[in-house]
């Protein structure tokens, strides 16, 4: 008699058990002071999104985190600037641990923390959570892009603002995920440029859903959400070019308002809006500052990819330049500090124009 055919896991090499989210959070608890930083960041972002605060949200930091020490160094530099900026800007640090890839490549600190293809995900999850706790200890709220539905169970309690990337605004999985997240979430326009995809994502995420997920013990669960009322559009450019100009911002906000969203959005100065050039990204940021200074109230936030050193370098397990991105090109620290001051000045100018 023939043996029964094997029909499952034909392309799975191995399965490795991970600590449950509850175990990880117990091992690395958030703590009262860090919880206050997270909650205050969320409240500030919500207030700006909904027009109750006239500051500008600036989500700024490395394209992705690969070196915890450099990430904390960067956070401390931001923390030193926040007191002089806080009347005009809500500064939130990009603390991104997972990278979507067009084909293949390094997938981020959680997936491959050793940068050598060893894919020690347990180590990556612990490192990611420790980095977030250290950023919060510096007094800086954190932003994160949520790439898949499991890792947020390990880190989302420490995040003040979330993003759904350009490959995923139409993904039902990501819309469901956003519906249950506890912070404001931005949906990027699709890679080809569709803003309607982001609007539809926001509308869907504002609704309640029931879907497959895991509970804090890591068990399979049916998750029921109430919907997230704080979702918004992110303009990041696309296959047909940039979309950060005043006309594009106004058109996107018109689509958003028709879908019940606030008449305000975030502009990503990187990616399709800058051709992934750090030099052009700084120029885009200055053009956005000029628009804000002239009275544009349709932009409530700006995203900047920035690190200690400008540019980028290829990923490697050793020999890397300290504080330099191993994914997208980033603006260097000195230029970043100057841009933050210029954006703060633009907010002050907008107050005069709008008040007048």
pLDDT value of residue 104: 81
CA dist., res. 106 & res. 341, Å (int): 33
Q: Evaluate whether residue 1 is within a structural domain.
A: no
Predicted confidence band at 3 (pLDDT cuts at 50, 70, 90)?
confident
pLDDT value of residue 101: 78
Q: Evaluate whether residue 12 is within a structural domain.
A: no
- When pLDDT is averaged across residues 66-74 and rounded to a whole number, the result is 98
Residues 33-68: tens digit of each pLDDT: 999 999 999 999 999 999 999 999 999 999 999 999
Cα dihedral value 70, 74, 76, 80, nearest 10: 150
pLDDT value of residue 48: 98
DSSP state of 157: G
DSSP state of 292: H
> Buried b / exposed e across 232-254, counting CB within 10 Å, b at 16+?
bbbbbbbeeebbbbeebbeebbe
DSSP letter string, 216-279: TTS-EEEEE----TTEEEEE--BTTB---SHHHHHHHHHHHHHTT--S-EEEESSGGGTTT-HH
DSSP state of 136: H
- When pLDDT is averaged across residues 243-248 and rounded to a whole number, the result is 98
Q: Evaluate whether residue 326 is within a structural domain.
A: yes
Q: Evaluate whether residue 10 is within a structural domain.
A: no
Residues 194-220: tens digit of each pLDDT: 999 999 999 999 999 999 999 999 999
pLDDT value of residue 28: 98
Q: Evaluate whether residue 40 is within a structural domain.
A: yes
What phi-psi label fits residue 163: left (phi over 0), alpha (psi between -120 and 50 degrees) or beta? beta
* Average pLDDT over the chain, rounded to an integer: 96
> Buried b / exposed e across 35-57, counting CB within 10 Å, b at 16+?
eebbeebbbbbbbbbeeebebbb
Predicted confidence band at 102 (pLDDT cuts at 50, 70, 90)?
confident
Residues 144-179: tens digit of each pLDDT: 999 989 999 999 999 999 999 999 999 999 999 999
% of the chain residues with pLDDT over 70 = 99
- When pLDDT is averaged across residues 315-333 and rounded to a whole number, the result is 97
- Domain enclosing residue 118, as ranges: 21-355
**Position 130 pLDDT exceeds 90:** yes
**In the beta sheet, which residues pair with residue 186?**
163, 232
Judge whether 153 and 217 are in contact, CB under 8 Å: no
**In the beta sheet, which residues pair with residue 233?**
187
% of the chain residues with pLDDT over 90 = 96
pLDDT value of residue 304: 98
pLDDT value of residue 252: 98
Q: Evaluate whether residue 84 is within a structural domain.
A: yes
Q: Evaluate whether residue 77 is within a structural domain.
A: yes
CA dist., res. 66 & res. 319, Å (int): 13
DSSP strand pairing (265-268 vs 299-305): parallel
Q: Evaluate whether residue 16 is within a structural domain.
A: no
Two tokens, residue 304: 């900047």
Q: What total of structural domains would you count in the chain?
A: 1
**Position 100 pLDDT exceeds 90:** no
Judge whether 205 and 179 are in contact, CB under 8 Å: yes
pLDDT value of residue 356: 62
Judge whether 125 and 133 are in contact, CB under 8 Å: no
pLDDT value of residue 273: 97
Judge whether 286 and 274 are in contact, CB under 8 Å: no
pLDDT value of residue 274: 97
What CATH code is carried by the domain that includes residue 343? 3.20.20.70
């Amino acid at each position: 008699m023939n043996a029964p055919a094997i029909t499952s896991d034909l392309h799975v090499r191995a399965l490795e058990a991970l600590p449950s989210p509850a175990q990880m959070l117990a091992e690395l608890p958030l703590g009262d002071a860090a919880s206050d930083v997270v909650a205050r960041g969320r409240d500030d972002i919500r207030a700006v999104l909904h027009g109750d605060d006239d500051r500008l949200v600036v989500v700024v930091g490395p394209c992705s985190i690969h070196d915890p020490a450099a990430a904390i160094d960067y956070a401390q530099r931001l923390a030193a600037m926040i007191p002089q900026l806080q009347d005009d800007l809500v500064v939130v640090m990009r603390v991104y641990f997972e990278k979507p890839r067009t084909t293949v490549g390094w997938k981020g600190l959680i997936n491959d923390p050793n940068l050598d293809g060893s894919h020690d995900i347990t180590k990556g999850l612990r490192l990611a959570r420790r980095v977030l706790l250290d950023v919060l200890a510096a007094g800086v709220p954190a932003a994160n892009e949520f790439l898949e539905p499991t890792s947020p169970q390990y880190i989302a309690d420490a995040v003040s603002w979330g993003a759904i990337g350009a490959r995923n605004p139409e993904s039902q999985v990501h819309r469901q995920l956003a519906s249950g997240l506890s912070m404001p979430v931005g949906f990027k326009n699709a890679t080809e440029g569709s803003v309607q995809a982001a609007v539809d994502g926001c509308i869907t995420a504002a609704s309640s859903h029931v879907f497959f997920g895991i509970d804090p013990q890591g068990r399979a669960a049916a998750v029921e959400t109430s919907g997230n009322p704080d979702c918004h559009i992110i303009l990041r450019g696309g296959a047909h070019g940039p979309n950060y100009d005043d006309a594009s911002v106004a058109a996107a906000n018109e689509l958003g308002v028709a879908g019940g969203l606030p008449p305000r959005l975030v502009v990503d100065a990187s990616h399709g809006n800058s051709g992934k050039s750090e030099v052009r990204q700084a120029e885009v940021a200055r053009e956005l500052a000029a628009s804000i200074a002239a009275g544009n109230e349709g932009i409530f936030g700006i995203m900047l990819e920035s690190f200690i050193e400008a540019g980028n370098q290829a990923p490697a397990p050793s020999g890397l330049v300290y504080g330099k991105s191993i994914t997208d090109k980033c603006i260097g620290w000195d230029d970043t500090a100057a841009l933050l001051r210029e954006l703060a000045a633009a907010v002050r100018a907008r107050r005069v124009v709008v008040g007048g």
